[in-house]
C-alpha cells in the first residue's frame, strides 16, 4: 500500500504529528506501507524547500530510512497533493488536523488562504484519508 504524507518543511508541530501518525499506520497495517513524504513549495512564497532537506530532517528526527520524499511546486497545496496522490497511485493520505481557532479558520477561508484540505481531498479522491490529531 502506498501512503502519501504531506508535511510542511521545516517540520512544524502539526507536521511532526502527521509523520508520527504515518509511522503508526505503517505499524498497524498488515500489508507493507510505502511512505511518501511530500512538501509543497508555494509559488507565492519565497522560501523553497529541497527534497534532500526534507529527507534529512525526517530521517534524523524519526529514524525513517525506508521512505520516499518529494517536493512539488504549486499555487495551491490541495491541488499539488491531489496531483501527487494520482501520480503515485496513493491508497491512503495522512494529513494533519488544522489547529487554529474557529474565527481564525473562518477568516482564512474567506480570503482563501487556508483551505479545508481534508474535505477537498475527500471530495476529489477515492482514497482513505487518515487525519493526525
Tell me what the mean pLDDT of segment 57-83 comes to: 94
How much of the chain exceeds pLDDT 70, in percent?
86
**pLDDT of 13 over the 50 cut:** yes
Tell me what the mean pLDDT of segment 66-75 comes to: 95
Place of cell 496522490: 85
How much of the chain exceeds pLDDT 90, in percent?
66
Round the average pLDDT of the chain to a whole number and report it.
Answer: 88
Domain-wise residue ranges, the chain:
2-132
**pLDDT of 117 over the 90 cut:** no
Fold for domain 2-132? Answer: Rossmann fold (3.40.50)
Tell me what the mean pLDDT of segment 54-79 comes to: 95
Q: Cβ neighbours of residue 17 under 8 Å, at least 6 residues apart?
A: 96, 132, 133
Q: Cβ neighbours of residue 126 under 8 Å, at least 6 residues apart?
A: none
Amino acid at each position: 500500500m502506498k501512503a502519501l504524507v504531506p508535511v510542511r518543511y521545516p517540520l512544524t508541530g502539526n507536521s511532526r504529528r502527521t509523520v508520527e501518525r504515518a509511522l503508526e499506520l505503517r505499524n498497524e497495517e498488515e500489508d507493507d506501507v510505502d511512505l511518501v513524504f511530500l512538501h509543497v513549495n508555494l509559488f507565492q512564497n519565497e522560501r523553497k524547500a529541497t527534497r534532500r532537506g526534507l529527507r534529512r530532517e525526517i530521517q534524523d528526527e524519526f529514524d525513517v530510512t525506508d521512505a520516499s520524499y518529494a517536493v512539488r511546486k504549486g499555487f495551491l497545496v490541495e491541488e499539488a497533493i491531489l496531483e501527487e496522490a494520482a501520480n503515485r497511485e496513493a491508497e491512503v493520505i495522512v494529513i494533519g488536523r488544522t489547529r487554529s481557532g474557529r474565527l481564525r479558520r473562518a477568516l482564512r477561508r474567506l480570503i482563501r488562504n487556508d483551505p479545508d484540505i481534508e474535505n477537498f481531498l475527500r471530495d476529489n479522491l477515492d482514497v482513505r484519508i487518515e487525519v493526525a490529531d
